[in-house]
Structure 1
Amino acid sequence: MVEKATGAYSQEFMDKAITFMKDLCTGGGQGTLSHCDLAQGRLQTPLNVRRLPADEIIYYAVTPPDGPGVWVTTAADVCHIIRIYRYESSRGDAQPDLRLRLLDLGIPFLCPRVLPHPQKTVEPGSLVQQLVRSPGYKWVPADYASYVSRRDSFIVGHPHGRAALLLGGMMWRLALDALHGTAEDVVCAGPSEAAIENGFGRLVTRVDGTSGWYEEHIDPLEEACIIGTYFVETSPGQWAEISWWPKSTTWKCCGYGSPGYWTNGAEEWYQNRLREIMKGTAQPMSQMQWRSFLRHNASAVRKFSGRYESHCKLSVDAR
C-alpha cells in the first residue's frame, strides 16, 4: 500500500492500517472507506467496474480504458485488480494486461466473448476415461507419471483445457505444470469459438436471443482427469473416488485456498506434496481425507477472508 502523494507511510496511514487489520482479525468495527483505501484523498483508477447478475452468480466486470477486461466473482478480487493496476501504472506500464496479472497470482477469472448461441443441442461425448483400481492397490511413482501424461495430453490437446487456468487455485497450478511456460499465450488465445460451438463452453450471461457472453468450461469428468481421479470398489456395487490432488471446491474451502489467490504457503505445500509422491510416501485420497489433510487453520482463514470481502464491498460499491 502506497500513499497517493509521496509514497511515504504517515502515522495516520499506519494507524488506519492497524485498525483495519485488527477489525479483520476480530470482526470488530464496521470499517470506513478511508480504511479500505488507506490513503490521503481518494485514489482514482481509470477502471470501469460493473456488477452483472448471471443466474445465481454476481460477476464484477472490470474493464481498463484500453485492452481486454476480466470478470471476477468477489469484491476482494476487484480490489486486487485495482491494486495491481495502480502498482503497474506507477512502474510505467500504462496499460497492464489484467488477464496476465491475474494469471500470475492464480486468481479465478473469466474473459468471455460475445458469440452466437451454439446450434448444437446434444452434449458432447466425454474426452477422458474413468480409471479403476482394485482394493488394496499399491501405488508407486510410475502411477503418478502415468497420470501426469494423461493430464497434460488433455490440457494441451484440447482448446477448452484453457478453462483450468481460469479456475485459479489447484486447477490453475496443475494446468501451469501441464503447459510448460505457455500459459500466457493459451489464456490470451481464448475463448475458442470452435470450442464453444462444439459444446465445450458455457453461457455466462445472455445478450439476446441470438448471442451471449460465452467462456470455455471444464466438466466434472475433465476435472477428475486433471486432478488424477480413480474409482476403487469398496463393496459390490459401491465405489470410492480418490485422487492425487483435491477438487477445486475442496481447495477453495481449505486454509491454503481461502485467500483466493496462490500464496507462498500454498506453493510450499504443493512442492512438498510432489516430493512425497516421488518418494512413494504419498498416495491418492478421498475428498473427505483431503478436507482433513488440508485443514490448515481453515476456519480462521475463512472468517478473515469473509471480513475482508465485506470491507472490499464498501470500497467497490462506492466507486
Structure 2
Amino acid sequence: MPDFTAENPSWVAKLQEMGIHPEWVQLLKDSQLADFSASNERIGVIIQPNCKCLNHVSRLVQANVPVYILWDNPSDFSDTPWFRTRYCPTFEEVKAARLAAYLRKAQQPPSWGDISNASDAANDDSTLVPDDLTMVPDQQPPTPVQQLPMPDQFDSWGGFARSQRRYDSFYNEWDLSEHFDQTTYRNNTNDSPYHNEVGNREVQNAGRDPLAKLLHWRFGYCWDGRSAYTGLPAAPWLDIQKTLTDTMGGISGLQQPAVSTLVTHLTKGVTVPAALWDLNSTNPSALRENLNLNLVVNPKSFNQTTYYFIQSAAPPSPNDPSWHLVVEDPMTALECCRRDLGPSIVDVARVLLLSGKSFATRICPVAPGHVTPSLCRRDPVGLGWRQMGYKGDSRDYAGGIVWCLAINTIEIAQVLSGPLDEVFEYGRAIMDTNGEELWDDALLEDELNLICGVYKVHTQSNQTSDSSWWPKQSVWMTSGLHIGYWSVACETWFQKRLEAIRNGTATLRTAAEWRSSLKFWRATAPFISHSKRAAAAYLLNEPCDLFD
C-alpha cells in the first residue's frame, strides 16, 4: 500500500471493516511485523545485478530495511539506467571510497600473525594508485586477550507462573513479577492477556481522611465551639457539602453553621471571621503561632512559577534522601505545616502519595546546563485509531485515572526512592533565574493518553477527535473533582465509572463531553481558588486576611 508507513495506514481501517476487532488490529499495527520505524531494526537485503525486483528497492528503503547493492563491474545494472542513476555510485566515488579504506587500514597495525601487507593489497587494486602512501607501521606484539566477564544470573522464565507474566505489546517485551498475581491487578471480563485494570484498591487514605480533619489541614478551619463570630448568610448545608465534594462526611450540628460560614466567605472571596480561620492574624490559634516545628516550607520561583520546598527542620542526616520534596499547590504545603508530619521528608512524601496529593522528587544534575525545552522523544505509544462512531466494548477497555492506576501498580518504595537513573534523558527540568536546575521523571502526553484509554476516532470532516474511557489528564486537572487531593467524591465517581465499564454500559466520550460531565458544583472552583490564594499569600509572608 502506498501509505504503509503512515501513522494510520489504510490497511488498519480495511481490517476493521472486515470485522476484525480494533484491539487485535492495533496489536498487529504495534508489532514488529508492521513497525517500519528506524528503531525496529531489520535484517538487510543484498541486491545483485540480475535481480528481477529492482522496483521494490525504493519501498525497502522507505521501510528502513538496510539495502546493500552489489556493483563490482562497470556494466552492472546497464539495463536499468534509472536504477543505476538513483542508487549506484560513480566511478570517482568508488575510487574515493577505496582510498579512504586504504588509509584507515594503513593507519592501524596489522593483526598479530597477519602476513598480508597493506601495500600488497593496494598493488592488487587497479583503481588505486597511491602517490606517497608507502609507510606501513611495524608489526606489534599481540595484546593479551582479556577474559570476558561472566553474565549476570538472570531470572528463570520457568520460575514465574502465567499470572506473573505480563506482555507489553507496545514495547514488545515481557515483564516478570510475583506482584502481578496479587489483588491489585484484575483482568478484564474477557480475560485478555494484554490489558489489566485496577481491581481491589487497598489505598490507606484515598477518600478516607475525615472531613473534619481535612477542613483544618487543608482550609484552616479552627473554631473552638465557643467564640462568637459574624459573617455572610451561609448557604444550605447540602450545598456546602457539594462545594467540599463530600456529601457523606460527618460534621456535628454544632459545627455545621461555622463550617458553612467559612466555606461561604472563601467561596465569595470575603475575609473569614477571625474565630474560624487560622490564617486570620487575630485568631487565638493563628497558624504562625502554632507551626509544625519538624518542617520548614521554603517558596522558590522557577520558570515564573512558585514552588514550595518541604524541608526537614532537623540537622542533616546520612539517611536524608538525595531529592527535594517539592509541591506546587500552596494548600498542600500548608497542610504539611498543620499536620504532625516530619522530620522525615520520606514520611511526608508517603502521606501525600497515599492521599492523592501532587508532589515531585526533584534532584540537581551533576553538571549544569542540562535543561532542554521538552522531554526527549521515546517510542510513540497509544491505543490507535478507530472508525467514525466507534463506541468501544469490554475487550477494548484499557486505562484509568493516572493516580489511581499508579498507586495500585507501582511499589511505594519505587516512588519514594526518587527519580530514575534516566531522568536527565527522559525527565523534565525547572530552572530558576540563577540557572539552578531541578529534575524529575515525567510522562509524555501520549503516555498519559495511553493510561487514560484515549483513541483517535475519525469524524465526518475527515479529521480525528480524541475519545476515551476516562477523562484525559488535561481535562481532569480542570474538572470540578480536581481539588488538590483524592476526595470522597473522586472515589465515588471513579468506582461508578469503573463498574459501568465492567458491565458494558459505559461508552467512550470526547474531551468536550468529559468537560461537560465533570463540571459538578459551580461553587467548588472559586472556593478552591480563593483558598489557594490565601495559602500562597501566607507562605510568601503577604497579607492574607483580606481579599480584593
CA distance in structure 1 between the partners assigned to 2:338 and 2:445 by the alignment: 34
Shift of 1:279: 0.9
Question: Matched residue of 1:261: which SS?
Answer: coil
Picking from 370, 393, 399, the partner of 1:140 is 393
Q: Is 1:55 aligned to residue 310 of structure 2?
A: no
Query: 1:33·1:314 contact (CA, 8 Å) conserved in 2?
Result: no
Change (3 A) 1:76 1:33: farther
After TM superposition, list the pairs within 5 Å mapping 1:83-102 onto structure 2: 83-84=338-339, 86=340, 88=341, 95=344, 97-102=347-352
Count of residue pairs brought into register by the alignment: 279
Question: Matched residue of 1:28: which SS?
Answer: coil
Change (3 A) 1:65 1:13: farther
Greater shift in the superposed pair: 261-270 or 211-220: 211-220
Shift of 1:8: 9.8
Name the counterpart of 1:172: 403
After TM superposition, list the pairs within 5 Å mapping 1:191-270 onto structure 2: 191-192=419-420, 194-197=421-424, 199-205=425-431, 212-235=437-460, 237-257=462-482, 259-270=483-494
Shift of 1:220: 0.8
Name the counterpart of 1:26: 268
Change (3 A) 1:56 1:237: farther
Could you give the per-residue CA deviations for residues 129-173 of structure 1, whole angstroms, max 9, x where no partner exists? 4511112334221111xx25xx8xxxxxxxxxxxxxxxxxx4212
Query: 1:202·1:216 contact (CA, 8 Å) conserved in 2?
Result: yes
Q: Is 1:106 aligned to residue 333 of structure 2?
A: no
Greater shift in the superposed pair: 122-131 or 55-64: 122-131
Instruction: Flag the structure with higher helix content.
Output: 1
Query: 1:196·1:216 contact (CA, 8 Å) conserved in 2?
Result: yes
Question: Matched residue of 2:485: which SS?
Answer: coil
Query: 1:118·1:196 contact (CA, 8 Å) conserved in 2?
Result: no
Picking from 491, 494, 497, the partner of 1:273 is 497
Question: Matched residue of 1:102: which SS?
Answer: helix
Where in structure 1 do 4 or more consecutive aligned residues deviate above 6 Å?
13-16, 119-122
Picking from 271, 277, 284, the partner of 1:35 is 277
Name the counterpart of 1:11: 226
Question: Matched residue of 2:278: which SS?
Answer: helix
Structure 1: tracts of 5 or more residues without a match:
152-169
Query: 1:254·1:294 contact (CA, 8 Å) conserved in 2?
Result: yes
After TM superposition, list the pairs within 5 Å mapping 1:69-80 onto structure 2: 69-80=324-335
CA distance in structure 2 between the partners assigned to 1:50 and 1:205 by the alignment: 16
Structure 2: tracts of 5 or more residues without a match:
1-212, 217-221, 232-257, 315-319, 543-548
Decide which structure has the larger Cα Rg and report it: 2
Name the counterpart of 2:536: 313
Greater shift in the superposed pair: 60-69 or 8-17: 8-17
Change (3 A) 1:33 1:204: farther
Could you give the per-residue CA deviations for residues 190-232 of structure 1, whole angstroms, max 9, x where no partner exists? 211x3223x21011225977x7211111111111111111111
CA distance in structure 2 between the partners assigned to 1:229 and 1:8 by the alignment: 46
TM-score, length-normalised on structure 1? Answer: 0.76
TM-score, length-normalised on structure 2? Answer: 0.46
Higher relative contact order (CA 8 A, sep 6+): 1
What RMSD in Å do the two structures reach over aligned CA positions? Answer: 3.2
